[in-house]
Amino acid sequence: MRNSLKLKKRKSILIKIFTVILALTVSTILFILAFLQIFSNKSNPLYAHVHLAITLIILVTVGFLVASFVIRKILKPLSVLSKAVEEIGKGNLEQRISVDSNDELGSLADAINQMKADLRKMIQARDQLLLSVSHELRTPITRARIALEMIPDSAEKESVAGDLKEMELMVTGILESERHKNGSIKINLSPVKLADILSNVLNVYRTEKDRIVLFPVAEDLIIYVDQNLIQTVLRNLLDNSLKYSTLKDKPVEIGVISRNKDIVIQIEDYGQGIPLDKLPFIFEPFYRVDESRSRKTGGYGLGLHLCKQIMDIHGAKIEVKNKPDSSGIIATLYFRIDKGI
């Protein structure tokens, strides 16, 4: 019974379109036959022929316009479904598709809605698992660090201490990311000079000052943000740039551009770039371009994810792309002046 019902639904749109095409075909044939009949009848005057011909042309034109309207109405849900699929590709699983149709397009819309709900549940389950595990790990990590202090100094102790530090950093990153995602963290927005933000960030890199160049920044550039969070974004981007820059004689460059209602911050390095097939995933949690996850490159794939979350809650935008000549990365932050960001 279910299979026969599905078969009927699949045929419904085809039947609708076939009916319209059949109506057009019949109308066209009748038009041609009537046209030939009119002009083959020598008894009627010329003006009568012309009058009937014009009438038939108008009727057929109207028929085609009506058919076009009907077909467009039948296929209109396809544009809605196409946009919905694009949103899914961007990670938006909240918006529900509404298609008032009892044919297979309606069935497809229902299937996509169900798929989005299932994906949302899977992601929530994954996030909850990570959150629960992270909470549970904090206590044994703390106990292990306390116990480690009782052991005499040695190479083994230093190695274990390094492992515990890495675990602690990963757990802290997961919990911090979850706080931003759930909106449980409060942001303190205030007007801040961009020059002051950049100055505070660069103070952290005093030992690496020869590897960073900051181009002049106007003192009157002000953005309305949570200063600590934006400084976290800039530090994460600078850490990545310094870590992956391979040319020691080419420092990481920081520039600020003010155009129209935007303030743009660009961080440009001279590293190895990111493979094009991996660029779309760099803001995903735990995603790392270096699949070996070696200690040399470090990190847990949470840095850029956290940057994206912070920029999102500010209503701002972050973009990371390769240079045109593939000689490094350009990370760009966009802040809207008219919105304070």
From 320, 312, 319, select the one nearest 177 (Cα to Cα).
312
Which phi and psi (to 5°) does residue 242 adopt?
-70, -35
Kindly state the tokens that stand for 224: 């309305």
Residue 101 in contact with residue 109, Cβ under 8 Å? Answer: yes
Residue 308 in contact with residue 295, Cβ under 8 Å? Answer: no
From 104, 173, 171, select the one nearest 134 (Cα to Cα).
171
* Alpha helices for 182-264 (secondary structure H): 194-203, 227-244
| Tens digits of residue pLDDT in 136-173 | 777 787 888 888 888 888 888 888 887 777 777 777 77
Domain boundaries, the chain: 2-107, 190-336
pLDDT at residue 275 in the model: 84
pLDDT at residue 30 in the model: 67
Q: Around 2, how many Cα atoms within 13 Å sit in the side-chain half-sphere?
A: 0
Kindly state the tokens that stand for 40: 């083959």
Instruction: Grade residue 113 by pLDDT with cuts at 50, 70 and 90.
Output: confident
Amino acid at 234: L
pTM: 0.58
Instruction: Grade residue 255 by pLDDT with cuts at 50, 70 and 90.
Output: very high
Residue length, the chain? 341
The architecture in CATH of the region 190-336 reads: 2-Layer Sandwich (3.30)
| Tens digits of residue pLDDT in 174-185 | 777 666 666 656
Kindly state the tokens that stand for 92: 């938006």
User: How, if at all, do strands 222-225 and 262-268 pair?
Assistant: unpaired
pLDDT at residue 4 in the model: 40
pLDDT at residue 17 in the model: 67
Instruction: Grade residue 318 by pLDDT with cuts at 50, 70 and 90.
Output: very high
Kindly state the tokens that stand for 205: 């890199």
Q: Between these two residues, 168 and 42, which has the higher pLDDT value?
A: 168
pLDDT > 70: what percent of the chain?
Answer: 69
User: Could you give the maximum distance between any two Cα atoms of the chain, in Å?
Assistant: 121
Residue 269 in contact with residue 244, Cβ under 8 Å? Answer: yes
